C-alpha cells in the first residue's frame, strides 16, 4: 500500500510520465525488488511504482528520475526556481511545494484578470511602506506576466491563459533586442495588437520559456511621482529543457483613470544567447548589463 498522499501521488505521476518506458521498467523493478515485471505498459508501470513507494523524496532522488523531468514539472506548475539548480535542490523545492497544499489545482495562482490590476492591488494591500509597496507590486507583476506568457507555450501542455491586447495601452511600444553569437537583431513594434502578437510568438511559435529571477539581485522597481511604475527583471530563457541564454526586461505600467486598473505602457526586452555571454557566472541571472540606464 502506497504511503504517498494524494498530492504526492499526483505530482509523482506527472513526473514519471516524462520518463522513457525502459526507465519506468527499471524503476518498477527496483521499487518492487524485482518481484513484479512490467513491459510496454507505461500506465501500469507508473501505478506499480507509486503503489510500492512510501517516501516521495526517496523516489525523486532515484537516478532514473532525471533532473530535467523535475525541473519541467516545477515550471509547468508555475514554481520559479533557478534553472541551474542541482537535482537535490529541485527535489527539496518539489517536496515543499507539495506540502504547502498549493499544488494540482489548489495553487493560489494569480488570477486571469483583464489587466494586471488585481495582482498589483493585492500586492499593495499586503505590503507596508512605499518602497515595499513598489517592490511587492513589481514582483507580483513579474509572476503574473511570465506565468501568463509561458502558459501560451505548447510544450508545457497546459491550458493557455487569457493573453491578448487588453493588457496593454493602445499606444504601447515594444523594443526587442536579440544578441546571439551569430547576430544582433533589433525590432520595434507599436500598438496593443502588434506588441501582444510579437510577445505571444516568443512562447507559442518559438517555444521559449522565460523564467524571471524575482530575488533581490534580479528585480528592481521604480515608481515615479506621476504614476509610472517601472519594473526591471532579469531571467533565463529555456526551450525543451535546455537553457538558451538570459534576458532583461523593463516594463512600464500606468494605472487607468476610470477603473483603477493597470496596463502596460512599454516593454524593453533584451535577449542574449548563452554563447554571447562567455563570462556568464553561475547562479540565478541578475540585473547588471545596463540596469541604471534601464531604470532612468
Domain identity same for 51 and 126: no
Domain identity same for 194 and 283: yes
Domain identity same for 122 and 93: no
Domain identity same for 246 and 169: yes
pLDDT digits (tens, 9 = 90+) for 250-264: 999 998 877 667 899
* Amino acid 145: pLDDT: 93
* Amino acid 293: pLDDT: 46
Whole-model pTM over 0.75: no
* Amino acid 283: pLDDT: 52
* Amino acid 101: pLDDT: 61
Q: Tell me, what CATH number does 230's domain have? A: 3.10.450.50
Domain identity same for 130 and 41: no
Instruction: Give every residue of the chain whose pLDDT is below 50, as ranges.
Output: 1, 104-131, 281-282, 289-296
User: Is 106 part of any domain?
Assistant: no
Domain identity same for 199 and 276: yes
User: Containing domain of residue 182, as a range?
Assistant: 117-294
* Amino acid 105: pLDDT: 37
**Is the CB of residue 80 less than 8 Å from the CB of residue 143?**
yes
Domain identity same for 87 and 164: no
User: Is 247 part of any domain?
Assistant: yes
Domain identity same for 132 and 85: no
DSSP of the chain: -----HHHHHHHHHHHTTS-HHHHHHHHHHHTTT-----S-HHHHHHHHHHT---HHHHHTSTTS-HHHHHHHHHHTT----TT--HHHHHHHHHHHHHTT--TT--------SSTHHHHHHHHHH--SHHHHHHHHHHHHHHHHHHHHHTT-GGG-S-----SGGGEEEEEEEEEEEE-SS-EEEEEEESHHHHHHHHHHHHHTS--EEEEE-SGGGEEEEE-TTSEEEEEEEEEEEETTEEEEEEEEEEEEEE-TTT--EEEEEEEEEEEEGGG-TT--SSS--S-SSHHHHT-
Domain final position from 68, 99, 130: 99
* Amino acid 123: pLDDT: 38
Amino acid at each position: 500500500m502506497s504511503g504517498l498522499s494524494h498530492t504526492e501521488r499526483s505530482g509523482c505521476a506527472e513526473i514519471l510520465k516524462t520518463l522513457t518506458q525502459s526507465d519506468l521498467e527499471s524503476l518498477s523493478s527496483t521499487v518492487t525488488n524485482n518481484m513484479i515485471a512490467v513491459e510496454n505498459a507505461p500506465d501500469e508501470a507508473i501505478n506499480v511504482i507509486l503503489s510500492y513507494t512510501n517516501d516521495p523524496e526517496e523516489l525523486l532522488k532515484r537516478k532514473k528520475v532525471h533532473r530535467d523531468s523535475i525541473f519541467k514539472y516545477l515550471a509547468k506548475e508555475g514554481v520559479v526556481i533557478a534553472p541551474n539548480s542541482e537535482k537535490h535542490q529541485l527535489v527539496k523545492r518539489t517536496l515543499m511545494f507539495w506540502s504547502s497544499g498549493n499544488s494540482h489545482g489548489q495553487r493560489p495562482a494569480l488570477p486571469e484578470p483583464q489587466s494586471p490590476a488585481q495582482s498589483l492591488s493585492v500586492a499593495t494591500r499586503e505590503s507596508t511602506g512605499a518602497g515595499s509597496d513598489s517592490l511587492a507590486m513589481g514582483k507580483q507583476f513579474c509572476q503574473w506576466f511570465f506565468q501568463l506568457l509561458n502558459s501560451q507555450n505548447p510544450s508545457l501542455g497546459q491550458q493557455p491563459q487569457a493573453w491578448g491586447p487588453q493588457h496593454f495601452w493602445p499606444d504601447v511600444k515594444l523594443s526587442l533586442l536579440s544578441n546571439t553569437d551569430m547576430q544582433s537583431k533589433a525590432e520595434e513594434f507599436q500598438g496593443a495588437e502588434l506588441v501582444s502578437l510579437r510577445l505571444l510568438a516568443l512562447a507559442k511559435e518559438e517555444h521559449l520559456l522565460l523564467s524571471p529571477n524575482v530575488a533581490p539581485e534580479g528585480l528592481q522597481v521604480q515608481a515615479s511621482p506621476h504614476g509610472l511604475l517601472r519594473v526591471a527583471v532579469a531571467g533565463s530563457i529555456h526551450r525543451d529543457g535546455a537553457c538558451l541564454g538570459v534576458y532583461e526586461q523593463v516594463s512600464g505600467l500606468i494605472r487607468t483613470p476610470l477603473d483603477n486598473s493597470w496596463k502596460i505602457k512599454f516593454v524593453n526586452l533584451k535577449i542574449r544567447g548563452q554563447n554571447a555571454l562567455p563570462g556568464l557566472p553561475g547562479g540565478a541571472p541578475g540585473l547588471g548589463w545596463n540596469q541604471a540606464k534601464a531604470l532612468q
